[in-house]
Structure 1
């Protein structure tokens, strides 16, 4: 091949303009336009650094960014929107009196959020808010998809809205498959990947964050008040996870697990992706081994933080015994 022949046939195409145009048509900018919400975006040195700014151009939203420079090493930390990686965002939201903090992972397909005062909003709760917003404010139809390690709050919301709840193994590919074949309003995984109706069957942290902002505009409330009202109606659940690095692969067997947890009877065991023990009081403990390395993921959820921590401790002990 002659030198320069490849260059002559190659063309650079900028798809970002089409992406921004579509999101601007998807989000209800008329509702948002005159709101003066103060929003802080933590791009975590990833690819989602400027899209929200371009999408919200022409509105009165006061938008600021942190960690929005391109950095191949992501500042020396994992670009994952988990609470331990978002201390700066939490602190800045609190000190700067922001109405909402949005955290995007390295490729901007996952999200976490921070409420006024610096309170972390777990992706599980974001999924709950998206379901309520799209159903009650936008009046859209469709079921809700969660994974087997998803919060019980989603079950309560689906029951209240009278929509079908789908539960899948862990992994967004299972949610994506349902979005292609069923009428799905929204679906999400505990790691922060969210998909919504009227969009491609894929995760997008940017659109999820903008829908939170839209929900605030529709309800004329800040995100903390909306979340508090949601938890008052559908239950406050404390969700925890611990990744145990083991010397060798450990396989827990259903028969070896206890029939009660912290004195409460286990009434159901799900074993199609890991082992999930569900108690009579709706608290639960789950074990899921990594398929690629000697790591056991232990999940717990209860109606008090103290009990969720005790369940997690019990889970660790069962793995290590």
Structure 2
């Protein structure tokens, strides 16, 4: 049967500007007539002449509206001259899996349907982002082009009679406007599992999980939070490594509303996991992932919490435990600007390059492609390496298990040993979610005025018996070492003489209102085993005093503390 495309008249929608990682809005916004169609068409138009005859990856975290969106993408892609789509079975692909597939198949890019760690369901969030040829999130230059196109779009191309089933694996070929259009539906996990087997020593990890005559089984509790990683956890931890499907994994069925939970792996939203590990001393490690599988949280026995900043530093210090790095070598390390500087100390000791970049995984890609970066992370529970161009939650847990197996130590003992060697960066983040946007912008304007004061350097602030002297105050800017592009206004930084830091940012990952994030980082060389919130209390008080956050927003407490 021959199919024919058509041109549909449309008008622009306001506010289709991609944030840190794609366009995120409420589901009901994406369901408005032509809203999703407009944005998808603008992504394809931004690709220019490379689009014709190309292959794209399509998939996501399975949240509500994913199936409808995939059908729209299929019909628009066919009408725009795309030759082939590779789609995950049932539309399921984790964000790390999309990055891996782009690189394995060497295709033009991928459309990822996710709002990451944001809640799902008809009342909550949906998102669309584009990953480029290297497998990483599209750079600002591309998303800026998409945004400009959304402001002036007048039509989109569509193939209305194209019905394509993507629930079963297999290849379907359609005749569209006299040419072949191919849809290949693949197993969601095969490619990713094969990649993990190249990176890690699976027989050694299997022995750790199952135990041997010298040591008992290492008990894990892996929580997919009803997100996309359930597919990969089943394949890797249960089928490959021998974990029990009854006692070692939980919430592994992807649900389109994530079971009405917030799929964000932190101490607040993954409290159920924390309580289970804390209440059952047989568990040696707990881990949780977000909706699309790129974020992770690690806790040890009795729910001993590993901050993402410490997790990055520990992995950096133990890369020789992972076969991939022993074979390939280690280039440099990087972290997002708000992330605590624990990994910096590892880089200095190992004589590796160290990069500080803006928030957003896309800023790591150029460094990886230039072979100057092997390992990187963000304090927002993202860790990854140059095996792909996205953060990777399951990879991070396998890295930790590799370290534990190699060192034969508990999570807490590994951290304590690390702190005694390097000192400790006490770190916390306060999130104030869904603030009034005008109030949040007024607070940031107030902070701009503070750092612009001619006498700000050298000024002192005191709280809780401690005094902090300002060494640097600025709005962070970044010059990419590879392409020399400049990224400005990435967060207000106030750095103190003793190494303490306070950072303020407006998050780019929410779908409504504004999320204010305040980061507090204080380094201690010797006092490394105290309670973080106790150690940070004076610095937090100073940070709230400087920002006047309560006065601007009316908020007495943060929504989330991590």
TM-score (norm 1): 0.90
- Distance in 2 of aligned mates of 1:191 and 1:181: 25
1:310 aligns with 2:535: no
Query: Secondary structure at 2:406's aligned position in 1?
Result: helix
1:283 aligns with 2:487: no
Moved more, 267-276 or 6-15: 6-15
- Check the 8 A contact 1:260/1:279 in 2, yes or no: no
Cα gap change, 1:37 to 1:147, in 2 (>3 Å): same
- Check the 8 A contact 2:229/2:292 in 1, yes or no: yes
- Distance in 2 of aligned mates of 1:201 and 1:112: 19
- Distance in 2 of aligned mates of 1:104 and 1:217: 22
Residue 284 of structure 2 corresponds to 99
Q: How does 1:56-205 map to 2 (within 5 A)?
A: 56=237, 57-59=239-241, 61=243, 64-96=248-280, 97-135=282-320, 139=326, 140-197=329-386, 199-205=387-393
**Shift, 1:171, TM fit:** 1.1
- Distance in 2 of aligned mates of 1:53 and 1:299: 35
Moved more, 53-62 or 80-89: 53-62
- Check the 8 A contact 1:38/1:62 in 2, yes or no: no
- Distance in 1 of aligned mates of 2:241 and 2:361: 33
Match of 1:42 among 223, 226, 231: 223
Residue 452 of structure 2 corresponds to 255
1:52 aligns with 2:233: yes
Aligned residues: 320
TM-score (norm 2): 0.53
Residue 521 of structure 2 corresponds to 301
Structure 1: state its 5+ residue gaps. none
- Check the 8 A contact 1:242/1:298 in 2, yes or no: yes
- Check the 8 A contact 1:24/1:55 in 2, yes or no: no
Cα gap change, 1:76 to 1:18, in 2 (>3 Å): same
- Which deviations, in whole Å up to 9, do the C-alpha atoms of 1:114-148 show, x marking residues without a partner? 11011222221211122112157654321110111
- Check the 8 A contact 1:261/1:279 in 2, yes or no: no
- Check the 8 A contact 2:334/2:356 in 1, yes or no: yes
**Shift, 1:6, TM fit:** 4.5
- Distance in 2 of aligned mates of 1:145 and 1:238: 19
Taking only aligned residues, the RMSD between alpha carbons, in angstroms, comes to 2.5
1:233 aligns with 2:426: no
1:29 aligns with 2:246: no
- Check the 8 A contact 1:135/1:141 in 2, yes or no: no
**Shift, 1:177, TM fit:** 2.6
Match of 1:214 among 402, 414, 422: 402
**Shift, 1:59, TM fit:** 3.8
Cα gap change, 1:75 to 1:269, in 2 (>3 Å): same
Residue 473 of structure 2 corresponds to 269
- Distance in 2 of aligned mates of 1:230 and 1:116: 17
- Check the 8 A contact 1:134/1:185 in 2, yes or no: no
Query: Secondary structure at 2:185's aligned position in 1?
Result: coil
Larger Rg: 2
Query: Secondary structure at 1:33's aligned position in 2?
Result: helix
